[in-house]
Chains A and B, each alone.
Chain A
Amino acid sequence: MTTATFIPAARRVKELNFLNHDYSIHSWLMTKDHKRIAILYMVSITFFFIIGGVAAMLIRLELISPTNWLVASETYNKLFTMHGVIMVWFFLIPSIPAVLGNFLMPLMLGARDVAFPKLNMASWYLYVIGGVFTLVALLWGGVDTGWTFYTPLSSTFSNTHVVMVVVGVFIVGFSTIFTGLNFIVTTHSMRCPGMTWFRMPLFVWGIYATSVIQVLATPVLAMTLALVAIERIWRVGIFDPALGGDPLLFQHLFWFYSHPAVYIMILPGMAVESELITCFSRKEPFGYIFIAFSSVAIAILGFLVWAHHMFVAGISVYSGLVFSMLSMIVAVPSAIKVFNWTATLYKGSISLQTPMLYALGFIGLFTMGGLTGVMLATLGLDVHVHDTYFVIAHFHYIMVGGMVMTYMGGLHFWWPKITGRMYNEWWGKMSALTIFLGFNLTFFPQFILGYLGMPRRYPAYPPEFQFYNVLSSAGASILAVGYILPLVYLLLSLRYGKKAGKNPYRATGLEWTTTSPPPEHNFHSIPVITHEPYAYHLELREPPEEQPSD
């Protein structure tokens, strides 16, 4: 289970790891090391998160007052479009897979790297190039179609740089596709001896399921956006009814990708959740097989429900009935996971450290988000709340209350492994609580706003909605503080944090058998697996390792 690389303190020279073996910029920008690529992604997505977050702050500031007091409508429309585009494609979709997935997948599987390291590097460069296109569009005046690009508004009526943003998203889509391809092949081909499918950590199952969706859904988005660009440039008539096209065709094609896309965004969060809950309960997951297969079930079923975004769009009653039923079914595997995670706590040895706070917050918020999703899947009810703040609240509960919480939780959990340093635990807990409280204050009032009838994408609204909007904006400012704090203390930990040993949390998993940070090629010799995963009853019998002195 552990590879013995014990070097007596007296003979310890500077241990070379993936971070310090070469400090040159060239070694970073031309790296094929999955761990360095993960860090490149970490920096890039943080950059985009800040931009998307600033857009969100401006939106919430504007919404304090029922009138357009801060920005004109045109600017507001550009703000929510860029917020959506950046957060979906440049933050959420890459976040856990490209950062934590890249770092951990080879380590967890006992491999030296992913299957195609050069392709991995290319994925990051595609991400950056796509980001550049999108940023240029932003700086050059922005786009005002909404991240959903509905036609004919986007194909004919909008006067903004739709083509440029669409090109950016097209390119970053290929970044996603290649990352997914890499992980699928890595999981199939690079498992170390003894690592059967059911001995893999649940994190791998989750990333694998995500990768299948990435690989199959993203090409549909790419081609759909290409058709929008073609329609804009050459005024053909695929989607614009004035030219004989069908706006609903765009919606079907768009949502055929975008619904699985939301599962691309949440499955990695669930993957991390399984690791956090088990480590901080010091137990194997309750129902490993069920959690593993639920990930696959969500990936498959997620492709069958897209038209629940279109119940009032003009689809037939029959379509509505079919898609509503399928949407109910897709909720079942997620429910199974929530129950299994909760049951994992039973008779565990629970420690409420920072990653665990995020993990527990996730269960609650994801449950609320998921149940409101079932409400949206209910036909008669959806007619009222569709395209209102109810929907916004629902998906932010899943994306922010779910995914971002697990991203933060995972970042904290594996921070010692990635950087070799511990962060300040008190500040970690404070930030987690701040985020939890700020989040709920921001988004819970939006459920009420939505049911009251406040539509989406409105900078100005009737005065009776102001009370909840003010609450929501107040929450957003608290949430912002909650996100800024980790930026500060995590960065500070790089210099002032306590040095971390191999396995500060006594977790199972091959990544915890390497040094912190791991060496460049991960393992001195490829491990051989002889027992089931999450063998805490074995791990805990070994004495806790001595934490290194600084």
Chain B
Amino acid sequence: MTKPAYVEQQFEDIEQQTHAATLGMWVFLSTEILFFGVLFCSYMTCRTRWPDAFRHGSEDLFLWIGGINTAVLLTSSLFMALAVRSAARGDNRRVAIWLCITTAFGVAFLGIKGFEYAQDAKERLIPEYNFSTISTEDAGKPPSKQDPRPQQEQLFMVFYFIMTGFHALHMLAGVGVLLVLLIMTLRGRFSAEYHNPIEIAGLYWHFVDIVWVFLYPALYLLRQA
């Protein structure tokens, strides 16, 4: 009994390989939950310790940029889901299109994030580098009208950059994976019988999306209306 080329030598058949690969991705995602969990845990602990400074921090972030990025990322997940659906049908042409669009949205997310970081720098929010307790908005006002930032807001900013930074790294890895899959699709490596790599890449992409869905409210939305 010869196995198709897309079944690796350690597996008996495609079902076993698919089962193993999918389970493997779920286990990997659970490690990522623990990985990000440390950041969320530490963030929440520090937030409870300095509620005022952290609220200030949330208010100083660019809500609208974060909001656009949320929309971008959620939409990219839609296209990823479409790619998985087309892959199950063996429709390689559509798979390539959807993967292309997903990647584009992913790159857009990263670009907007970069733009946001530049804006944060302009606003003098980078801790240890150019953090200023007086925002640019307040710079011209007399001291009695200023609303200075608490020093502890730097800690908020540390968490903001670390958490969104690690998230962005995961996005970058995801974009890389999608590009590889795109090339493989264009080379005709996938079919209705064998398309599991696209499915599990979809799992990964959705997971990174979900992390953002937690990051956005935790960092941006805990503010006074």
Contact = CB atoms under 8 A, between A and B. Distances in A.
A–B contact, 8 Å CB criterion (strictly below): yes
Interface of A: 106, 111-117, 177, 181-182, 184-186, 188-190, 215-220, 222-224, 227, 230, 234-238, 244-246, 249, 253, 521, 526
Interface stretch (B22-30, B66-74, B95-103): B22-30
Given A116-B24, A237-B154, A220 B38 contact: yes
A281 B53 CA distance: 66
Contacts of A177: 31
B150 to A, nearest CB: 10
A198 B74 CA distance: 43
Contacts of B30: 215-216
Interface in B8-47: 8-12, 16, 19-20, 23-24, 27-28, 30-32, 34-39, 41-42, 45-46
Task: Specify which of A111, A217, A219, A253 lies most central, judged by the most chain B CB atoms within 10 Å of its CB.
Answer: A219
B162 interface: yes
A247 to B, nearest CB: 12
B31 A236 contact: no
Given A220-B38, A234-B127, 14 more contacts: A111-B10, A181-B28, A181-B31, A182-B24, A189-B19, A190-B11, A215-B27, A220-B34, A220-B35, A223-B35, A230-B162, A236-B155, A246-B45, A526-B12
Nearest to B157: A236
Query: What secondary structure prevails in chain A residues at the interface with B?
Result: helix
Nearest to B43: A238
B38 A253 contact: yes
Contacts of B37: 219-220
B187 interface: no
Interface in B152-176: 152, 154-155, 158, 162
7 contacts: A117-B10, A189-B20, A190-B10, A220-B37, A227-B162, A238-B42, A246-B45
B49 interface: yes
A167 B9 CA distance: 35
Nearest to A189: B20
A350 to B, nearest CB: 38
B200 to A, nearest CB: 12
Given A189-B23, A220-B37, A238 B28 contact: no
Contacts of A115: 10, 20, 24
B137 interface: no
Given A188-B23, A236-B128, A112 B34 contact: no
B23 A185 contact: yes
A224 B38 contact: yes
Nearest to B33: A219
A236 B154 contact: yes
A169 to B, nearest CB: 15
A244 B24 contact: no
Contact of B16 (A182, A190, A218, A235): A190
A113 B8 CA distance: 11
Interface in B132-155: 151-152, 154-155
Given A234-B127, A237-B155, A223 B38 contact: yes
Contacts of A236: 127-128, 154-155, 158
B19 A227 contact: no
B27 A184 contact: yes
Interface of B: 8-12, 16, 19-20, 23-24, 27-28, 30-32, 34-39, 41-42, 45-46, 49-50, 127-128, 151-152, 154-155, 158, 162
A215 B31 contact: yes
Contacts of A216: 30-31, 34
B42 A185 contact: no
Nearest to A174: B31
Contacts of B39: 223
A235 B158 CA distance: 10
B56 to A, nearest CB: 14
A234 B10 contact: no
Nearest 4 Cβ contacts at the A-B interface: A219-B35, A113-B10, A223-B38, A189-B20
A189 B26 CA distance: 13
Contacts of B127: 234, 236
A235 B155 CA distance: 10
B24 A185 contact: yes
Contacts of A253: 38, 41-42
Nearest to A106: B10
Contacts of B27: 181, 184-185, 215
A253 B38 CA distance: 7
Contacts of A184: 23, 27
B140 to A, nearest CB: 29
Contacts of A114: 10
A114 B11 CA distance: 9
B9 A112 contact: yes
A110 to B, nearest CB: 11
A113 B11 CA distance: 8
Contacts of A186: 20
Contacts of B23: 184-185, 188-189
Chain A CB within 10 Å, residue with most, of B30, B34, B155: B34
Nearest to A186: B20
B46 A238 contact: yes
Nearest to A119: B24
Contacts of B8: 117
Nearest to A187: B23
A430 B158 CA distance: 58
Contact of A249 (B20, B45, B162): B45
Nearest to A177: B31
Contact of A246 (B12, B35, B49): B49
Given A113-B9, A117-B10, A224-B38, A218 B31 contact: yes
A230 B144 CA distance: 36
Contacts of A222: 35
A115 B31 CA distance: 18
Contacts of A185: 20, 23-24, 27
A227 B42 contact: yes
A181 B154 contact: no
A215 B31 CA distance: 6
Contacts of B50: 244
A179 to B, nearest CB: 12
